[in-house]
Amino acid sequence: MNADKNQTNFLDIKAKLKSSVLALYDIPDFGQVDLNLVNMANFFPLLQNLIASFRPKIICEIGSDQGMTSDLLYQYCRANSTQLHVVDPALHESRQSDNIVTFYREMSLPYLRKAEPADIYFIDGDHNHYTVLNELRLIREKNNKNSPKLLFLHDVGWPCGYMDMYYDENSIEQQYRKKTISGLNVSVFHSPDTGGKQGLPIDEVTVAIEDGGKENGVLSAVENFLEESPEWMYFSLPSIYGLGVLWYGNGVTQQVTKKLERLAEDFERFRPFLSILEFNRIILLEKLQETGECWKEQNAFITVQSGKLEDLRATCRALEEKNAVQGREWKKQNDYIQVQNNLIETLKEKSEAQGLEWIAQRNYISELITRNVSLDLKVMELEDPLGMFRNILKKVLRRLKKIIDDS
C-alpha cells in the first residue's frame, strides 16, 4: 500500500530526543506529530491488544483522511492474515488495492448496504447524526447474532459530539439536515466576543449553526442507536476529540468481555483527569488560533504599510530624478546667462572704448574746423570777403555732413 507523502511518524522525532526524555515518556513508534491531534492512529496503543483479542477476519475503516490509521491497520492485517477494507470517496490517488487492502472510493452508506460485514469497524467519516446513525443501523442489520462486533467511533467529544458536520450536505436529504454555516470558528465558550478570532476554524465543511439539541452530532447518533439497541454496549474516552467504543455483547468471549470491561473502568477512572487535559488542549488550540489571527491582521497591516512605504520611496525617487533633471537644466541656463553676461561686459568695454575714440575724433574734428575757419578768415581778409565766406561755409557744411555720415 502506497502511503501519502504527508505521513508523520514518531520515529521521525524519537532519534532527535535526549535519552533522558525517552526515559520519561513511553512514546510509541507511530503516531501523529502535529499541534492539533485529529487522527485515530493516536489511540492505537490503547486498542491494538483489544483488536488482537477479537481475531478479526475483516477490518473496515470508514474515513481515511491522511491514511495514518490505514497504514497501522495495514501492518496489523498483513501480520495476521486479515483483510482490510478502506472506504472514503476522497482517497488519495496513490492508494491502490492489493491482496491485503481493498479501497472503496465511495460514500459509507452505499458501501455498507452492499458490502459483506466486517468484524471491527473504525468509523471516522461524515460527522453528523444522520450518517452515523444509519452507519450503525446498517452494521447492526448485517450482524450475525453469534459473531462479535467491535466499533471504534471518533469525534464523540467536542465539537462534533453534539454538532453536525457535513463534508457534502447535499448528499443528505434536506429533512435530515440541520441549518448549516461554513467558514465558522467554533469555540467551547459562550458567544466569544473576540471579533471572530477565538475558536477553532472549521474549513472546507459546513456545520450546524447551533450545537446541542436532538439528533445533532456523532454522540447524539450513538445515544439514539443505544436506545434502539440495548444489547449493544458503549463507553468512551474524552481525549483527542473523543473516542467511542461500541460492541455487540452476544458472541463475545468471556476473555474479551473482561478486557472491554477493564478498559471501560480505566477510561471512567481517568475521565476527570483526561477531560482536564482535553479541555486544556482545546483552550491552547483556541489561543493559538486567536494569536494566529492577530498575527495575520498585524502581518496584513505591515504589508499595507510596506506597500505605502514603497510608494513613498518611488515618489521620492521620482522627485529626486525630477530635481536632478531640473538641476541640470538650471545649470545649463546659468551657464548660458554667464556667457551672456560675459558678452555684455565685453560689448560694454568695447562700447566704452568706441565712445572714447568718438569723443577724441569729435575733438580732433572740432580743432580742425577751428583751424580751417581761422585760415579761411585770414584768406577772406585778403580776397573777396563774400566769396571767401561762401567757400568756407561750403567746406564747413561738407565736413559736417561727412562727420555725420561717418558717425
Indicate whether 338 belongs to any domain.
no
Note whether residue 384 is domain-resident: no
221 neighbors 308 (Cβ within 8 angstroms)? no
Question: Quick check: is 166 in a domain?
Answer: yes
| Cα distance from N-terminal residue to C-terminal residue, the chain | 118
The DSSP line for 25-51 is ----SS---SSS---GGGGHHHHHHHH
Q: How many domains does the chain have?
A: 1
**pLDDT in tens for each of the 407 residues of the chain?**
544 444 456 667 778 888 898 889 888 877 777 778 888 999 998 998 899 998 999 999 999 988 889 999 999 999 999 999 999 999 888 889 999 999 999 999 999 999 999 999 999 999 999 999 999 999 998 876 667 789 999 999 999 999 999 998 888 988 888 888 887 788 888 765 444 556 788 777 888 988 888 899 999 999 999 999 998 999 999 999 999 999 987 767 888 889 999 999 999 999 999 999 999 999 999 888 888 767 677 777 788 888 888 888 988 998 888 888 888 888 888 889 888 888 888 888 888 888 888 888 888 877 777 777 676 666 555 555 566 667 777 787 787 777 777 76
Instruction: For 346, list phi and psi in degrees, rounded to 5.
Output: -60, -45
- 244 falls within a domain: yes
Domain that holds residue 26: 11-296
Q: Examine residue 210 and state whether it is found in any structural domain, yes or no.
A: yes
State the CATH number of the domain containing residue 119.
3.40.50.150
| pTM of the full structure | 0.73
Predicted local confidence at residue 373, as pLDDT: 65
Contacts of 190 (CB under 8 A, 6+ apart): none
With respect to residue 403, please indicate whether it lies within any of the assigned structural domains: no
Residues 6+ apart with CB under 8 A from 143: 117, 149, 248
Q: Is residue 372 part of a domain?
A: no
Q: What pLDDT score does 87 carry?
A: 97
CA 36 to chain CA mean position, Å: 18
Q: Report the Cα 7 to chain-centroid distance in Å.
A: 22
pLDDT attached to residue 4: 45
CB contact set of 8 (below 8 Å; sequence gap of 6+) = 31, 32, 33, 34, 68
